[in-house]
Amino acid sequence: MGIRFQGFVIDVERAEVRAPDGMPVRLRPKAFELLTLFAANSGRVVTKQEIMSAVWPGIHVSDDSLFQCVKELRTALGDGRRELIRAVSGRGYLFSATVESDVSASPKPVADASRTSTRPEVKPRLALVFAAVAVLTVLGGLAISMLTGSPQHHTVTVSPIATTGNDAANVAHASAMSEMLVEGLASIAGLSVAVPTGQSPAGGLAIVSELSNSPDTWILKARLLDRGTGQVHAIATSEVPSSSAPALLHARLVAGVGDQLARSINGLLQNRSRQRPISNFGKVAIEQAAASINQTSRERFGVAEGLLENALGAEPDMPELQVALASLQLRGVQMLWYPAEQRPEIEQRARMLLESALAANPNSIPALEAQCRLLSTLTDFAESLVACSQVLSFDPWNGSALYLVGLGQLYLGRFDDALATFLLADRYDTPAISRWTWRLGAGWANLLLDRPDQALPWIEQSIAITPASGRSHMLLAATYVRLGRLQEAADALARAMELRPASTVGNIFPTSETMSPIMLAASDRIIADLVRLGLPRD
pLDDT top residue among 507 and 174: 174
Helical ranges in 429-516 per DSSP H: 435-448, 452-465, 471-482, 486-499
At residue 23, what is the residue type? M
65-74 confidence digits (pLDDT tens): 787 788 889 8
The answer, yes or no, to whether residue 292 has pLDDT greater than 90, is: no
Question: What are the φ and ψ backbone dihedral angles of 250, each rounded to 5 degrees?
Answer: -60, -50
pLDDT attached to residue 150: 52
Q: Which residues pair with 95 in a beta bridge?
A: 85
Q: How confident is the model at residue 422 (pLDDT cuts 50, 70, 90)?
A: very high
Q: How far apart are CA 38 and CA 419, in angstroms?
A: 26
pLDDT attached to residue 110: 34
Among the ranges given (9-18, 123-132, 240-249), the one the predictor scored with the smallest mean pLDDT: 123-132
> What mean pLDDT do residues 481-506 have?
93
pLDDT attached to residue 132: 38
State the DSSP H helix or E strand holding residue 211, giving kind and residue range, or none if neither. Answer: strand 205-213
Percent of the chain scored above 90 by pLDDT? 35
Q: How far apart are CA 270 and CA 252, in angstroms?
A: 27
323-381 confidence digits (pLDDT tens): 888 888 887 887 777 888 888 888 888 888 888 888 888 888 988 988 888 888 888 88
Task: Give the three-class secondary structure for 155.
Answer: strand
Domains, the chain, ranges and CATH? 2-108 (1.10.10.10), 154-271 (3.40.50.10070)
At residue 310, what is the residue type? N
pLDDT top residue among 430 and 336: 430
> What mean pLDDT do residues 93-102 have?
82
pLDDT attached to residue 68: 77
Q: How confident is the model at residue 31 (pLDDT cuts 50, 70, 90)?
A: confident
Query: Vertex 445, ends 440 and 446: CA angle to 5°?
Result: 100
Mean pLDDT for all residues in the chain? 82
106-148 confidence digits (pLDDT tens): 433 333 333 344 443 433 333 333 343 344 434 344 434 344 4
- CA nearest neighbour of 356 among 330, 328, 324, 400: 324
245-262 confidence digits (pLDDT tens): 999 999 999 999 999 999
Q: How far apart are CA 364 and CA 378, in angstroms?
A: 21
> CA 280, 225, 141, 430 torsion: positive or negative?
negative
Question: What are the φ and ψ backbone dihedral angles of 217, each rounded to 5 degrees?
Answer: -140, 145
pTM comes to: 0.69
Q: How far apart are CA 364 and CA 506, in angstroms?
A: 37
By DSSP bridging, strand 8-11 and strand 16-18 are antiparallel
